[in-house]
Amino acid sequence: MRYQALGLLVIGIFLAGCPNRQVVNQPTKEPAAQMETAKPFPEQPAPPPEPEAPPQPQPQRQAVSGWRVQIFVSGTRENARRVAEEARWKFLDQQIFVAEQPPYFKVQVGNGLSRQAAETLKQKARELGYQGAFAVEVVY
């Protein structure tokens, strides 16, 4: 009987629960640290926002005209390149250009500002075998 009484006592305590036990329904939250937000110093107020600048107009490019000597015209780029490479060996002191103006590819020599310089270069081109050479005005 003793064991029965002891067993009932243990069962009674187990069913009744521990008297010092606390029931927690919600998780506890840690206290939030109280931090002050950064504020500007009263002596130095925040600067006002700068107004947006209106877009600046792009400066107009001024067209400049110059003179070149045209030595060849072709309907294919390959022919124009071939003649331009050949002309690079003959005109060592001049620039060679392949100008594309559909449907033609034009090989031009020089980059002078005066017609007189172009006429002098035209005579040199004719001496070098380009009999159809002529001066052309180009706009840059």
Beta-carbon contacts of residue 118 (< 8 Å; ≥ 6 apart): 67, 68, 69, 110, 112, 135, 136
CA distance 112 to 69: 9
Average pLDDT, the chain: 82
What is the homologous superfamily of the domain 65-139 according to CATH?
A: Sporulation related repeat (3.30.70.1070)
Its pTM stands at 0.56
**Is the pLDDT score of 26 beyond 70?**
no
The pLDDT-based confidence of 134 (bands split at 50, 70, 90) is very high
